[in-house]
Structure 1
């Protein structure tokens, strides 16, 4: 995977935020936003990010707050 210029990463994040906002959504979880940044930078794939989130959710106990 190649890395992208920081300006391209910021632009990709701004576009994603705008699209989510237009649909009435927002990503507020810091770790999730960081995974999005890593995807935009070309450091990880979307599949890798999804796997990390799923693993994190599965490791939490049911009574632990999100």
Structure 2
């Protein structure tokens, strides 16, 4: 049976800031911006390695859909 590895790699504050800056730049280049403070916090948590991408997506869905 296959299992999913849910561990995350923790990153320094500088690495997390670089990851957020890259994401903001990529979104900006496409004409998008994330302004919701809850979603920004989830991005920061993912960038620092506190939560996985899957966790960030699930929490984002729940926040947006109100579930």
TM-score range, shorter chain: 0.7 to 0.9
Structural RMSD (CA)? 1.1
Q: Distance in 1 between matches of 2:39 and 2:49?
A: 15
Q: Distance in 2 between matches of 1:41 and 1:15?
A: 13
Q: What is residue 3 of structure 2 aligned with on the other side?
A: none
1:24-35 equivalences in 2 (<5 Å): 24-35=31-42
Shift of 1:3: 1.5
Shift of 1:51: 0.9
Per the normalisation by structure 1, the TM-score is 0.80
Q: What is residue 10 of structure 2 aligned with on the other side?
A: 3
Runs of 5+ in structure 2 lacking a partner? Answer: 1-7
Shift of 1:58: 4.1
Q: Distance in 1 between matches of 2:32 and 2:18?
A: 18
Aligned length: 59
Q: What is residue 55 of structure 2 aligned with on the other side?
A: 48
Runs of 5+ in structure 1 lacking a partner? Answer: 60-66
